[in-house]
Chain A
Amino acid sequence: MSFDWKSYTPVIIPDIPNLHEIDVYTNNGGYESLKKVLSNDWDPEKVINEVKAANIRGRGGAGFNAGLKWSFMPKPDGGPRYLACNGDESEPGTFKDRKIFEYNPHLFIEGALIAAYAMQCSAIYVYIRGEYYSWIKMMEKALKDAYDKGFIGKNILGSGFDVEFHVTGGAGAYICGEETSMLESLEGKRGYPRVKPPFPAQKGLWGRPTTINNIETLSCVPLVIKNGADWFTGIGAETHPGPVLYGISGHVNRPGVYELPTGMPILTLIEEVAGGMRNGKKLKGIIPGGSSTPILRGDALEGVNMDADSLREAGSMMGTAGMIVMDEDTDMVEMLWRISHFYHHESCGQCTPCREGTGWLEKILLKIRNGDGEIRDLELLIDLCSQMEGRTICALADAAAWPVRYTIDRFRDEFEARCKKSTYALA
């Protein structure tokens, strides 16, 4: 891709000082999109169609068209309807929403308000992970300012549209980033994912129609309303358009969050955007979109771009675009054990395959890491992955199984080198 990333001007987190202050935000064209949709000629239907046309694919990991998701909401029946914004951001390697909370909270608030208007929601909940304590506080301040200016509350900007906006902090559970367990958590219950169907659009928060969107997804909405769907689809990859926040971490010289179009070549991101490998080491592998997405070998990244289609071809996923870069010194066994430890620790314990499987995976990997593993343990690991994938209520079991399956598959030599020769086969 011959795209000159240096000429790209960020729009989600633009380079404007003190943009988190509401006055700065409004002086720079903030809340204009909200005013635009609340004026007479934009009915909710039109907003949904515009967003659908922009093909904003959910930035929380699933990559589902946001406008299409909105259109699943049933017709208003007079009862409450909710928009729940997922700022739990618990996937390891992901730290993009926090930049929005910090640098451009009003863009997200505006997007959420437009979404609430499009779906005729009566209240918006934003769920922010508990560790982001200062950003929860910042969000509370930003909401208060927006309330004071009349962007939230009763009869917003004289349009007759009412909506309430609440902030809730999480308590540190990974599983609460799963949309239905986030709803449970919002209701004040233990974060257990719900059985679907019924889907949240039919029965969500407190049994009422609810749509759940990622913070970054909603932040794209005001830009789409302001510049039009065509502008948005013109950015980045054709099937997965728009600006995206790449969170690059690991063994690079300049780790950080970078706003760039989708479809960036992975090697360009590492070599140019993130300043190249630390200490001039060789690239060994990357995890493209948060710890649960399958790892890619460093020597197989030529021509692979950061968009859903290209990554699927390469055998991985876009996820949250939180890329973890590993250099040649990385011990893949250690790395995989650490990831498995995370999923073992975070499994909610509701479904059998995940509750028991995550622990078993970790224990076997620990054994291999300590030099007590045997070749047959690798077969058992792969077998266990098949026993977990697609067998649970939510996708945590898949998220725990994929790294194991693909890391062993793609770095098998390293695992075998750590294992003793099996003395007998496992039944």
Chain B
Amino acid sequence: MPEIFIDGERYEFEGKPKLLQFILDNGKEVPFFCYHPEMSAPANCRQCYVKVGTPVQNRETGEYELDENGERVIRWFPKMQTSCSMEMTDGMVVHTQETSEEVARAQKDTMELILINHPLDCPICDQAGECPLQIQTYKYGPEGSRFEVKKVHKPKRVELGPRVTLDAERCINCTRCVRFTEEISGTHQLTISSRGDKNYPITAPGMEFDDPYSLNTVDICPVGALTSTDFRFKARVWEMNQTPSIDITGGKGTNVDLWTRDNLVLRLTPRYNKNVNTHWMPDEARQAYRKFNENRISRPSIKADGDNQIKTSWNNAIETFAEKLESVKPADVMVLGSAHASVEENYSLMKLFSTWGVNDFHFSPDVKDGFGDNFLLTDDQAPNTNGVKALGFNEISTDDLKTAIKSAKVIVLLNDELVDRGVLGSEDLEKPFVISLATNETETSKSTDLVIPITCIAEHAASYVNVEGRIQRSLPAKETKYTHRKMDLEMSEGRLDRYGTNFDNWVNEDNKIDCTPTWELMNNLAKRLGLSVQFGSSREIMDEIASSVSTFEGVSFERMDDENGIQLTGITKEEVSA
């Protein structure tokens, strides 16, 4: 196997990896800005310099020539090489900044040059705290600057499109954003304008940067030049907690991070998963954070005198729920699961009602034909269609649903905006008694008789099966009235949780929602109805599902965490991603 010596250590490699990627893969570090593993290497930032040499071989025998000490004779490249574009060859010898003064000096030189026209406005820059330029300057940069003349001035606060704002002075011209639109999203909307130290990325005159994936350029921008118009100036990075989760606006199951502060989700960013979305996510999915904060239902409400809903107590809500069920036969109750809810939620609903006597379980699929793009957007608008199907919920068409509703006396509706997405009209829900378990106040929840607030994906740990049959789970990012960040081991800790005093943290009880996970609601209902159904945490529910539903065999939270999601074998891929 071919070998390479990096800083005196021997490594073996296969194929033709690029040097920088190989160095990073092996846990070593070389500073870089323009390189991105998903895109071509333009080698323009000149930051990832290393010293490279190849052993001298005898032309005829192919044997390595040795010096008087029996060491291989190395022919060094006359100039230092950018490791991002360097192809590895057998026997290559590499020195990084760790073992070569010359390399460390060259990296420092480049850093000094990068910084001369950079505004250094970190105190007011959104990128500060997660800025590769900032981090690498501390690690590899010069101590000061010798630049005593005027910096170049360029346009600031340029709205490139509806979602992205540019500060051209901060730009270091790595061209990642330009290459993203050329190589990943394929819209070719960005280019570099002007020459030399006056250049910056921009759209063609009169054009908007309205790429459906435009916000990814904000993520990959190694400085604060491209910022999210929505998020900018909202929070400092170190004030937020970062919680791994799943996107629920589509069927792809894009891996995301939820960034929370003061119990509000402030932004979503993509989380790397090589099997699903790699580094990217669609712009639309980033808007989902609003649903976690705004229009949330807190405390149950019940319809009283006419069409007005009034808030009620949990006891009253459960009592009303149970009384309604007891007043009818199981055959008169229609239970609708939801592809917008998790596997655990649907399972707990199904288990309670089948124990009580209901036999048929349905859900209404949420598919928009032609919406998918063979990348990260799918026709399926729900995150868990395959999950509910695998649990045994039957798909029901709009017409069948309308007919079925007419004959039902009580309808239990798990979080699904049937009225809002046009499946039902609010008049369809007038006759039966409709109990909806919902996260957000919507037209659907307004048209129902009893609304019970449940936790959303940002508040519970639960799993979702994407269009390709991959099961992945969320972690709780927000506290509810009944959970506490320090008590829940699944909740992430931010820097302030770990190192700050109580007074450092942002605490506001107003942002805690009075809601409960579906399975806990089912527990209470079971107790009231006298059924022997009892659920533990969602982790335990998943273990129960794994042992009772064949599709989920072997699935557990631990495995999902270790393997970054599990591909279920029983589910055929509906769509194959490009």
Residues of A bordering B, CB below 8 Å: 173, 175, 190, 195, 197, 344-353, 355-360, 363-364, 367, 380, 387, 390-393, 426-427
Q: How far is the CB of B18 from chain A (nearest CB, A)?
A: 12
Contact A353 B197 (CB under 8 A): no
Contact flags B418-431 to A (C-beta < 8 A → 1, else 0):
00000000000000
Contact flags B179-198 to A (C-beta < 8 A → 1, else 0):
00000000000011011111
Whole-angstrom CA separation of A387 from B147 in the bound complex: 14
Contact flags B262-294 to A (C-beta < 8 A → 1, else 0):
000000000000000000000000000000000
Can you list 27 A-B contacts (CB < 8 A)?
Answer: A175-B195, A190-B192, A195-B43, A346-B195, A346-B196, A348-B196, A349-B192, A349-B195, A349-B197, A349-B198, A349-B199, A350-B175, A351-B45, A352-B47, A352-B110, A352-B114, A353-B46, A358-B196, A359-B152, A360-B149, A387-B109, A390-B78, A390-B79, A390-B80, A391-B49, A391-B106, A427-B143
Contact B197 A363 (CB under 8 A): no
Contact B43 A380 (CB under 8 A): no
User: Of residues A356, A367, A393, which shows the largest number of chain B Cβ atoms within 10 Å of its Cβ?
Assistant: A356
B234 at interface, CB cutoff 8 A = no
Whole-angstrom CA separation of A344 from B149 in the bound complex: 15
Question: Given contacts A363-B149, A391-B106, A392-B46, is CB(A352)–CB(B196) below 8 Å?
Answer: no
Residues of B bordering A, CB below 8 Å: 41-47, 49, 78-80, 82, 85, 87, 106, 109-110, 112-114, 116-117, 143-144, 146-147, 149-150, 152, 172-173, 175, 191-192, 194-199
Q: How far is the CB of B40 from chain A (nearest CB, A)?
A: 10
Contact A352 B113 (CB under 8 A): yes
Question: Given contacts A360-B116, A360-B149, A363-B150, is CB(A349)–CB(B46) below 8 Å?
Answer: no
Q: How far is the CB of A186 from chain B (nearest CB, A)?
A: 18
Contact A358 B42 (CB under 8 A): no
Contact A356 B116 (CB under 8 A): yes
Contact B146 A355 (CB under 8 A): no
From A197, A387, A390, B112 is in contact (CB under 8 Å) with: A387
Question: Given contacts A346-B196, A355-B197, A360-B116, is CB(A391)–CB(B80) below 8 Å?
Answer: yes
Residues of A within 8 A of B85 (CB): 195
Q: How far is the CB of B182 from chain A (nearest CB, A)?
A: 11
Contact B197 A347 (CB under 8 A): yes
Whole-angstrom CA separation of A352 from B172 in the bound complex: 8
Contact A359 B196 (CB under 8 A): yes
Residues of B within 8 A of A175 (CB): 195
Whole-angstrom CA separation of A173 from B78 in the bound complex: 29
Nearest A residue to B147, CB-CB: A360
Whole-angstrom CA separation of A236 from B45 in the bound complex: 44
User: Of residues B46, B113, B114, B147, which shows the largest number of chain A Cβ atoms within 10 Å of its Cβ?
Assistant: B113
Q: How far is the CB of A255 from chain B (nearest CB, A)?
A: 30
Residues of A within 8 A of B146 (CB): 380, 426-427
Given contacts A360-B147, A391-B110, 14 further A-B contacts (CB under 8 A): A345-B195, A345-B196, A349-B194, A351-B44, A351-B46, A352-B172, A352-B173, A355-B113, A356-B197, A358-B197, A387-B112, A391-B80, A393-B44, A427-B143
Whole-angstrom CA separation of A426 from B144 in the bound complex: 10
Residues of B within 8 A of A352 (CB): 44-47, 110, 113-114, 172-173
Residues of A within 8 A of B106 (CB): 391
Question: Given contacts A345-B196, A380-B146, A393-B43, is CB(A355)–CB(B173) below 8 Å?
Answer: yes
Whole-angstrom CA separation of A377 from B259 in the bound complex: 48
Residues of A within 8 A of B47 (CB): 352
Q: How far is the CB of A251 from chain B (nearest CB, A)?
A: 30
Whole-angstrom CA separation of A376 from B182 in the bound complex: 45
Nearest A residue to B118, CB-CB: A356
Q: How far is the CB of B327 from chain A (nearest CB, A)?
A: 74
Whole-angstrom CA separation of A345 from B147 in the bound complex: 19
Residues of B within 8 A of A380 (CB): 146
Nearest B residue to A392, CB-CB: B46
Contact A356 B114 (CB under 8 A): yes
Instruction: Name the 9 nearest CB pairs between A and B, nearest first.
Output: A347-B196, A363-B149, A356-B113, A349-B199, A387-B109, A359-B197, A390-B79, A350-B44, A349-B196
